[in-house]
Structure 1
Amino acid sequence: MTDKLDDEKYRAPALSKGLDILELLAGESRGKTQVEIAKTLGRTTSEIFRMLMVLRQRGYVELSEDGDRYAMTTKMFEIAHKHPPIRRLTAIAGEEMQRLADAINQSLHLAILHSGKVLVIAQVDCQDNNITSVRLGAQIPLFDTASGRVLAAWMEERALASLLEVAQGSEERRQDFVDGLAEVREKGYCGNASLTIEGVQNISAPIRDFSGKVIAALTIPFVKRLSGTSIKSADESREALLEVCRSISRQLGASVHSD
């Protein structure tokens, strides 16, 4: 009873409406109109209009070129990067990622889990003219990624169940994802053909924090170039990736012997 009264006492309706809008738009790549937002959230258009004006003034949402649809900006992503753990992770990983990209002539991206999806928080390219890269800030369905398998493989049972509950995808993809986690744990990495781009082999390895917990996945979308500029094989690239992940993990305080 006390908790319920406390909930009523500390309600902030305006803040709740603003957060509802942000959470809705976060899952919409094309954005939504004011009417669509109001209908989805069960609010009046006048309520939504006031919230949208404030969010737009603060730089959290923007209008499309035709002035009809609202979409999220990258401001939330930028704020997340100011959070010390993520900032430290990207600061430590950045130079190591670029050195590896140059050494194997492949692009790399660093990802974490966010709201049941894989969020790309850092990305580097090699010097080759032909590259395969993932957009910084991209949110990718969990079941479609090697990164997702690495991030989920060492989770405790309860945490994994919670992740699977919010992740989106077909039952077939979900089952295939779960079935593959044991192999990822056994090998210490994930290597499989891309589920989104033909001809790309994704190679992903875990990065651990001081407690040994997997907090990020570093991934090479490996491409074999017919031009002859693929200076390292997929196996050589994988071994180099694993060594870099161990190095980054050590700098974050993880034991060299974490497994």
Structure 2
Amino acid sequence: MPPDEEKYRAPALDKGLDILELLASTDDGQTQAEIANLLGRTTPEIFRMLVVLRRRGYVELGHDDRYRLTTKMFEVAHRHPPIRRLTTIAGDAMQRLANQINQSVHMCILQSGRLLVIAQADCPDNNLNTVRLGAQIPIYDSASARVLAALMDEASLENLLRMAGERNSERRDRFLADLPRIRETGYCEGASLTIQGVTNLSAAVVDYTGKPIAAMTTPFIHRLTGPTNATVPQAREALVLTCQELSRRMGAGAAAL
């Protein structure tokens, strides 16, 4: 921290944010002792922070004595006007797309070097592959992160990679190698890196400056039966058109006028 900023430190706030960020990165929560150990803090000072966070509704204590995040952070994030506006206008469009291509659709934003699923729509078919609303997803195996990263400026991309970690890894190298092609085509299409038999299709929603604000993705499953099965090219075209329309409604192109 620069010397001139040292006098503005808020240790209690730092501890509270450290706890929230730690719990956000774990699926099954942490005990008070585990939190203190992982953060290099004493148990009493962590306990005081946890009492406040529980009272404010950000964390909850389970019967197994493990602390977990509630949905309040997710709800607070959606009060931010751009995200609130996007999820408001995207809901119907996503459902129409899911019905049209008979595939589930979800929307993600980037948050602290990971993806956060902020909206999701199921298709009418009985069998579907869906992503949980509120899920946090590592970027390197994700089509959504690729389309967002492909539209970033150099400084924003470097910041994303720093937060995501894995500075020297094959996953990171493969991620970066995919970006030029996505930047050229305007979408990401490829076999899922996490589920066999799924083709991920993803495109970005941009704001009035052309900055990517969210990615819409369908984890396309290859159905063997059904009367309304779209092909991968048909689904990709419909997805791109939906993202273009949402971008227009978010003001895309206005900066050039």
State the TM-score bracket (shorter-chain normalisation): over 0.9
- What is the CA–CA distance in structure 2 between the aligned matches of 1:197 and 1:62, rounded to whole Å? 32
Aligned match of 2:205 in 185, 204, 207? Answer: 207
Letter in 1 for 2:238: A
Q: 2:22 aligns with which of 7, 21, 24?
A: 24
Select the residue among 55, 69, 74 that pairs with 2:71: 74
CA distance in 1, matches of 2:104, 2:172: 27
Alignment of 1:211-226 (within 5 A): 211-226=209-224
1:54-108 deviations in Å (ceiling 9; x for gaps): 1112111112232x21111111011001111100111111111111111111110
Give the CA RMSD over aligned residues: 1.8
Shift of 1:144: 0.7
Q: Which amino acid aligns with 2:157?
A: L
Residue 90 of structure 2 is matched in structure 1 by: 93
Aligned pair 1:113/2:117, yes or no?
no
Could you say which residue in structure 2 is the equivalent of 1:253?
A: 251
Q: How far did residue 126 of structure 1 move? A: 1.0
Question: 1:42 corresponds to which letter in structure 2?
Answer: G
Cα pair 1:141 1:168 within 8 Å, conserved: no
CA displacement at 1:233 relative to structure 2:
0.7
| Percent of aligned pairs sharing the same letter | 60
Cα distance in 1, alignment partners of residues 190 and 240 from structure 2: 15
The DSSP-based 3-state class of the residue aligned with 2:213 is: strand
Alignment equivalent of 1:181, drawn from 154, 179, 182: 179
How far residue 5 of structure 1 moved from its aligned partner, in angstroms, is 5.7
Aligned twin of 1:163 = 160
Of 233, 236, 239, the residue aligned with 1:235 is 233
Structure 1: gaps (5+ residues): none
**Runs of at least 4 residues off by over 4 Å:** none
- 1:31: how far off? 1.2
Contact 1:202–1:222 (8 Å) recurs in 2: yes
Aligned to 2:150, which of 150, 153, 164? 153
Deviates more, 1:157-166 or 1:140-149: 157-166
In the alignment, what sits opposite 2:137? 140
User: Contact 2:223–2:229 (CA<8 Å) still a contact in 1?
Assistant: no
CA distance in 2, matches of 1:36, 1:204: 38
Letter matched to residue 77 of structure 2? A
CA distance in 2, matches of 1:200, 1:208: 26
Q: Distance in 1 between matches of 2:11 and 2:178?
A: 44
Distance of 1:188 and 1:11 partners within structure 2 = 43
> CA 1:72 to 1:239, structure 2 compared with 1: closer, same or farther past 3 Å?
same
Deviation readout 1:145-185 (Å, 9 max, x if unpaired): 00010000011112111211221457101001100100101
CA displacement at 1:231 relative to structure 2 = 2.1
Aligned in 2, Cα 1:234/1:41: closer, same or farther, shift over 3 Å?
same
Q: Distance in 2 between matches of 1:175 and 1:230?
A: 38
